[in-house]
A and B are shown apart, each in its own frame.
Chain A
Amino acid sequence: MATSTVEPSTYIAPPPAEETYYEAHEPTILGGGFILAVFAVWELYPAIFGLSKGMKLFFATPSDIIAALYSLLILNEKLPMVGTIWQHFNASTGTFLFGLGLSIIVALPLGVVLGRSQTVDAMFDPFITAFNATPRLVFLPIVLIWFGVGFWTVIAIVFLGAVFPLLINTYAGVKNADKLLINVVRSFGANEWQINKLVVLPNSLPFIIAGLRLAIGRAILGVVVAEFFGGTEFGLGVIMVQASQSYRVDILFAVLIIFMVVSLLITAAVKQIENRLSRWRPAKIKTF
């Protein structure tokens, strides 16, 4: 009887199919390729199809934008408006850091208080809900009246944008602190301050960092919008308004790309910090 059985010991599994370079890098290739394709169409469209006279005014090809970025960032040429791009960049960075710093100083202590006291929490809740739901931009006109045109108005808008995500996340983190762990450290004789230091803060740190990530996004948004309307002399938002009014679409997009890159870089950096700080957590809940 000739049966074609394969003895277990002689059976050799076929080697796993070699993964091609494409298969290994499919997401990168497709993602990068799509972005390149978009740029290519954008670049070539006017050359192939031509643009109406009106549209020409509003159009800048990627090469125009890169040229603008090069001359502004690398050659540090003067803008057609006022100053150099770096002066505006520094002004915006200053506003961003100041406003964000202020919101951290306010949000962290307040968040801890709200998280630890049910009564204070219940009383603040409607206000936080209302302010968090409303775009803070709505307060711009009143902020302008109170703080006057210029620096402090911009700071106030950035602050209002960033403070709520931080506050809400700090609060959630504190509230989420494990009762058992609080009892554990109490049983070892910890006082209220030590309970906060040993349990409440470490426990809420991942929440706070996640809040920080949100707050940074909101703060950048705040810088842009506040500089649109805030009446400061320097700032990237100021440049954008002026560039669009003088039909310098290349400069407008150049600044937009600067914002984009900065946002992505900061977000990635915070994400990095988040991962470092959550080494103690099992991997599956690391991303918040």
Chain B
Amino acid sequence: MSSYISAENINLTFRPKNREAVTALSEFNIDIEQGQFVSIVGPSGCGKSTFLNVLLGLIPPNTGVMSVNGRTVTGPGTDRAMVFQEFGLLPWRTVAHNVELGLELQGVAKGPRRETCQGFIKMVGLTGFENHYPHELSGGMKQRVGLARALASDPDVLLMDEPFAALDAQTRDIMQAELLRIWHEAKKTVLFVTHQIEEAVYLSDHVIVMTKRPGRTKKLVPIDLPRPRDYEMRVSPRFNELKLEIWNELKDELSVGGDEDSGHA
């Protein structure tokens, strides 16, 4: 049985020189099929963002094997791209130049690069804003740029680290719908980390619930809602059952007065 994205017994402990060691991931396992939309929910500091960084290749695990499509992850690669919570746009680059970043680093020539990116800028609905600088954009628009940038390098896997956490509630709703539309269009495997159970249920094929630190997979909840999903579905009985099921898994993991900030907007 070989799945598309697989994590086998990942262990990761941070050892800052002068402080106590922190075990972020312990015996962490995950299996994800190609083309799926999978969300990871868990208490603050459970290591879900850390896992994304391991998958992205920014942090090597102490032990365990992380692989994508049968290839072991040893560093960043063009088959994976991340959408960051705080957008991570280069402030001195225009929208178009930001979207081109990945292709530029792959050595794609200017002409084709521009052309490709034009398409993705259109896909995220930012046509006309190519020459704006990030500080001239709203939060939602910034994250559209982040999404276009990740898609432009044509990765197989899209990693999203609480991408909508910094947005206000309405913008967040719009972006969720947009993301689903784009996901249908682009046909990527998506790994989506979030705090919000509702967001996870609405978007995903599967929701992974993680334990508190050191993070481990606690439960895999299949989301059997039909697609395409629409806004009304959020008030359906099945939607609420799923939300409750995940909440029940999660609530035991939330320590009262948790030691970390969980106050995301």
Contacts and interface: CB of A to CB of B under 8 A. Distances in A.
A206 to B, nearest CB: 9
A162 to B, nearest CB: 26
Given A194-B105, A280-B133, A280-B135, A187 B90 contact: no
Given A180-B88, A202-B90, A281-B91, A185 B105 contact: yes
B105 A190 contact: yes
10 contacts: A181-B90, A183-B88, A184-B90, A185-B101, A186-B58, A187-B57, A187-B82, A199-B90, A280-B135, A282-B135
Nearest to A283: B135
Interface residues of A, number: 20
A73 B76 CA distance: 63
B132 to A, nearest CB: 10
A205 B101 CA distance: 19
Contacts, number: 59
A240 B58 CA distance: 61
Contact of A187 (B76, B91, B106, B133): B76
Nearest to B88: A184
A188 interface: yes
A149 to B, nearest CB: 47
A188 B102 contact: yes
A180 B90 CA distance: 10
Interface string A158-182: 0000000000000000000000110
Where chain A touches its partner, the secondary structure class is helix
Nearest to B57: A187
Interface string B86-105: 10101111000000011001
A25 interface: no
A181 B88 CA distance: 5
Contacts of B82: 184, 187
Given A181-B88, A199-B90, A280-B93, A187 B135 contact: no
Interface string B108-139: 00000000000000000000000001110000
Contacts of A199: 90
B9 interface: no
A109 B92 CA distance: 22
